[in-house]
Structure 1
Amino acid sequence: MEEKKTRKKRKLGSYPFASVVFSITVALLVLGLFGWILLHSSRLGTRIQENIEVQVYLNKNISQSDITKIGTAIASKPYVLVKDQPQVTLITKEEAAQQFVEATGEDFKDFLGDNPLRDLFAMKVKGSYQSLDSLNKIKAEIEGIRGVFEVEYEESLIESINQNLTKIGFILLGIALFALIVVIILINNTIKLALFSQRFLIRSMQLVGATSAFIQRPFLYRSMMYGLFAGILACGIIYGFTSYMNSIIDGLEELQDFNGFLVLFSLILVMGVIVGYFSSLRAIRKYLKMSLDELY
């Protein structure tokens, strides 16, 4: 009987490992999944913006060498989207006429007798230059190139897309902040409940003269380790979830950025350690200040 009682004694600073790690992992996983959604939605918004074309119309009767020079000058601009090569495509007036015929089924050459269209460059712009102010500056700069007649883009469409992306961004950010608050509360309550079973042990250490720092140290260290371990588990689950989603959704991997995931995983690990530390510190200080009657 005496041996059984000895085995049941709890070590100072110990927690119920499985339940605490499981609870913290679930809380961090909720935060991580919202972060996962934010990363993908942000990249998707950028992709939508970068698919909008800016059309650079050239002067009529321009020589082929001048067209090549203009194309090279545009491609060298810092705001031009680059995917293996600058996204600047020449569309000749003959190609434009053919596209018009295919789209409408009518050939305007039959009644006009000539092709009134112009050679043009279809240019895609980086997402960071998609504001109307930036596009207006780009328009003015390119129209200053010799041989360029006019630069056009769908201003109303771009403005609508920017407004909608901003609204969606604020909504997702609000949800993420709410999730962050929920995660902090869950981890705090989990550790508080875990420490509840050791409140008398804490008081016993206090009565024999142990300092507050000495009593707190093992609890704080263990809570940080549990938080770190739970963070690693949460990151592993998110990584597995991402790999699975990539295997069933075509093109999803193109929306993913290594640096973004690195930041997300770092945030999860830091959150687990910091919230675990301060939640444990808060709970221990509370029990240290309680009277014996309050402990019961």
Structure 2
Amino acid sequence: MAKDKKFRKKKKLGSYPFVSVVFSVTLALFVMGLFGLLLMMTKNLTTIIQENVEMQVFLNKNLSQNEITKIIKTLSSKDYVIKKEGISQVAHITKEEAAKEFYEETGEDFVEFLGDNPLRDVVVIKISPDFHESQNLVEIKKEIGFIRGVHEVTYIESLVSSIRENVKKVSFVLIGFSVILLTVVVILINNTIKLALFSQRFLIRSMQLVGATTNFIRKPFLMRASLFGLVSAVLAIALLASLMRYLNTEVDGLLDLLQLEQLIMLGTGIVLVGIFVGFMSTFAAIRKYMKMSLDELY
């Protein structure tokens, strides 16, 4: 009697190995999430680097404070200047501040030696990544050069070109890896569930023979697959959170490269992939086994 009860429990409709399926799906989702974190950190780091591309605007000597303020306001209103929280990223460095900084770095007081400060006031602006193309920067340089009171405009062209080319290469590689990894994850989850359902193929046929409807047979499998996908996704997210917490203790400021909105999107994506792929793989496998003949099932 006990053996019969145990046998019936094993053959329950919609039941298949919990631990092995959840482990495999969790591992696949964890790898996908890990790559997602790497992708986000790379993107955010790239953005930080791009947002620190500066253009230095050297002003004419003997300008009044009102004239300097006017130039700063003019530059602050330009679309190509980065704005954070509504504040334009424009900094004014006076010639006195520049001389003081030079003295602190070198220990040499050239002002005292020359009897005059030959430096110029400088306005430093940070250029938006949207305007990092060579032609855009050339036009921006010309436009600023025509502003009254501007003596010279400079930027490190080779650095900007290098950043732009490297960003393109990294983006291309990461997109390629993303497509490959997502494909591998989907295939792995799909094969894991199909393999788990293989042991249920005769039970599915038995249910068909006793007149059970297609929806009645599919429902417990689909519900279980969705549950497994959700559990696996939660476990994968928990593992990722633990890993990031540990890495943050080893690498200072690592979590600064991640934004809350991005983490929420990644977590949602992992949950959706786990549930959707599990649901669709189960649906396809059940459909396949229901259409097989008895000989094909063997």
TM-score (norm 2): 0.88
Residue 277 of structure 1 corresponds to which residue in structure 2? 279
Residue 34 of structure 1 corresponds to which residue in structure 2? 35
Q: Displacement, 1:205? A: 0.8
Give the 3 Å change call, closer, same or farther, for CA 251–131 of structure 1 in structure 2.
farther
Residue 71 of structure 1 corresponds to which residue in structure 2? 72
Question: Which sits farther off after the overlay, 187-196 or 231-240?
Answer: 231-240
Give the 3 Å change call, closer, same or farther, for CA 247–130 of structure 1 in structure 2.
farther
Q: Displacement, 1:272? A: 0.4
Q: Displacement, 1:23? A: 0.8
Q: In percent, how many aligned pairs have the same letter? A: 54
Question: Which sits farther off after the overlay, 38-47 or 106-115?
Answer: 106-115
Superposition pairs of residues 207-246 of structure 1, within 5 angstroms: 207-246=209-248
Give the 3 Å change call, closer, same or farther, for CA 258–132 of structure 1 in structure 2.
farther
Give runs of ≥4 in structure 1 deviating > 4 Å: 76-79, 82-86, 97-116
Residue 295 of structure 2 corresponds to which residue in structure 1? 293
2:148 alignment partner, SS class: coil
Give the 3 Å change call, closer, same or farther, for CA 55–195 of structure 1 in structure 2.
same
Residue 80 of structure 1 corresponds to which residue in structure 2? 81
Where do 5+ consecutive residues of structure 1 fail to align? none
Deviations 1:122-150 (A, max 9, x none): 12234444343543454355445432333
Question: Which sits farther off after the overlay, 2-11 or 112-121?
Answer: 112-121
Paired AA for residue 25 in structure 2: I
- 2 CA distance for matches of 1:258 and 1:131? 30
Question: Which sits farther off after the overlay, 229-238 or 21-30?
Answer: 229-238
1:210 alignment partner, SS class: coil
Give the 3 Å change call, closer, same or farther, for CA 125–252 of structure 1 in structure 2.
farther
1:7 alignment partner, SS class: helix
Instruction: Report how many aligned residue pairs link the two structures.
Output: 295
Residue 3 of structure 1 corresponds to which residue in structure 2? 2
Q: Displacement, 1:166? A: 1.3
Asked if the contact 1:47–1:127 (Cα under 8 Å) also holds between the matched residues in 2, the reply is no
Paired AA for residue 162 in structure 1: R
Deviations 1:93-117 (A, max 9, x none): 3443455567678777799875443
Question: Which sits farther off after the overlay, 28-37 or 156-165?
Answer: 156-165
Paired AA for residue 30 in structure 1: V
Q: Displacement, 1:51? A: 2.1
1:151 alignment partner, SS class: strand
Matched, 1:147 2:125: no
Superposition pairs of residues 1-296 of structure 1, within 5 angstroms: 2-9=1-8, 10-82=11-83, 86-97=88-99, 99=101, 115-296=117-298
Paired AA for residue 283 in structure 2: L
Give the 3 Å change call, closer, same or farther, for CA 15–129 of structure 1 in structure 2.
farther
Give the 3 Å change call, closer, same or farther, for CA 91–37 of structure 1 in structure 2.
same
- 1 CA distance for matches of 2:239 and 2:256? 20
Deviations 1:172-213 (A, max 9, x none): 221122111111111011101110111100000111122222
- 1 CA distance for matches of 2:152 and 2:127? 17
- 2 CA distance for matches of 1:52 and 1:273? 43
Where do 5+ consecutive residues of structure 2 fail to align? none
Question: Which sits farther off after the overlay, 133-142 or 12-21?
Answer: 133-142
Question: Which sits farther off after the overlay, 238-247 or 200-209?
Answer: 238-247
- 2 CA distance for matches of 1:258 and 1:245? 17
Give the 3 Å change call, closer, same or farther, for CA 262–128 of structure 1 in structure 2.
farther
Taking only aligned residues, the RMSD between alpha carbons, in angstroms, comes to: 2.5
- 2 CA distance for matches of 1:54 and 1:210? 73
Give the 3 Å change call, closer, same or farther, for CA 130–259 of structure 1 in structure 2.
farther
Question: Which sits farther off after the overlay, 97-106 or 232-241?
Answer: 97-106
Paired AA for residue 17 in structure 1: F
TM-score (norm 1): 0.89
- 2 CA distance for matches of 1:129 and 1:264? 29
2:152 alignment partner, SS class: strand
Paired AA for residue 285 in structure 1: R
